[in-house]
Amino acid sequence: MTMLAVKNFFMPEKRVDSPRFSRMPEALMRSIRRRSLRVKRTKSLVLVNEKRKSDSFVNSQEWTASRGVTELRVGVLGSPDSGKSALVHRYLTGAYMQEESPEGGRFKKEVIIDGHSYLLLIRDEGGSPELQFTAWVDAVIFVFSLENEISYNTVSNYFNKMSHYRNSAEIPIILVGTQDAISESSPRVVDDNRARKLSNELRRCSYYETCATYGLNVERVFQDARSGNTGPQPVERRAVPFGRFIRFS
């Protein structure tokens, strides 16, 4: 018996012309195609619904102002756990978003100041301030979480880096302490005295404590930022579900 005969005896070739085997792959492919189309349709519906719910909170691809409309450029800086994304989202949409956006984003909103229309450009920076960012801004909002020590220390680091590129006295600055995540299991770790100390280090800038969950003080932060009202102000106290919200210098 030849070697080929031995091979065919122990390893016979599979028949591929059988109707049963020839139909199976084609049927399987049709099933896969149908499933793929269903997935695509579902994803499209989800994307459409999400777009409808948050049209004002999307990364702007053009991010260009209409001719004749003055731009106000506000930068937002803070660590990924600072609560800055929730702060921006609340201001733009009036809704609370728990998830942070590590990559940041660029957003725009038309605002009226003293009867005049302006285009407010908000740049939520995903990392530390670079030269281009520092040269671009008209005002900066530094954000940290009152229950996160790292986010508190990050503010000083970012401020010092920004000062290397531009005289900080030229830039209106607002400091914001967020308390969206404060609870019994996640208590406050940055007290009033330390927040006051940090605001003094940042040229005695205005300081707010906000809660994006309820929208407290969120509007006022951006009102001050877009108007340049960032200097020392009287202390304000107000009872809120998670403690006091203060603005001081």
Per-residue pLDDT in tens (0 to 9) along the chain, 249 residues: 555 554 455 555 555 444 544 455 676 667 767 776 765 665 555 444 444 444 444 444 445 545 578 899 999 999 999 999 999 999 999 999 877 787 889 999 999 888 889 999 999 999 999 999 999 999 999 999 999 999 999 999 999 999 999 999 999 999 999 998 777 778 899 999 999 999 999 987 999 999 999 999 999 999 999 887 554 443 343 333 333 333 333
Q: Are 206 and 247 in contact (CB under 8 A)?
A: yes
| Reported pTM | 0.68
For residues 85 and 79, what is the distance between their CA atoms, to the nearest angstrom?
Answer: 10
For residues 237 and 233, what is the distance between their CA atoms, to the nearest angstrom?
Answer: 12
| Residue 242, pLDDT score | 33
For residues 220 and 189, what is the distance between their CA atoms, to the nearest angstrom?
Answer: 24
Partnered with residue 240 across adjacent β-strands are 243
Q: Look at residue 28 and give its three-state secondary structure.
A: helix
Distances (CA, A) of 41 to 30, 35, 55, 58, 131: 17, 10, 21, 22, 43
Angle formed by the axes of helices 149-165 and 192-201, to 10°?
A: 10
Q: What share of the chain is helix, strand, coil (3-state, %, to 5)?
A: 40, 20, 40
For residues 33 and 39, what is the distance between their CA atoms, to the nearest angstrom?
Answer: 10
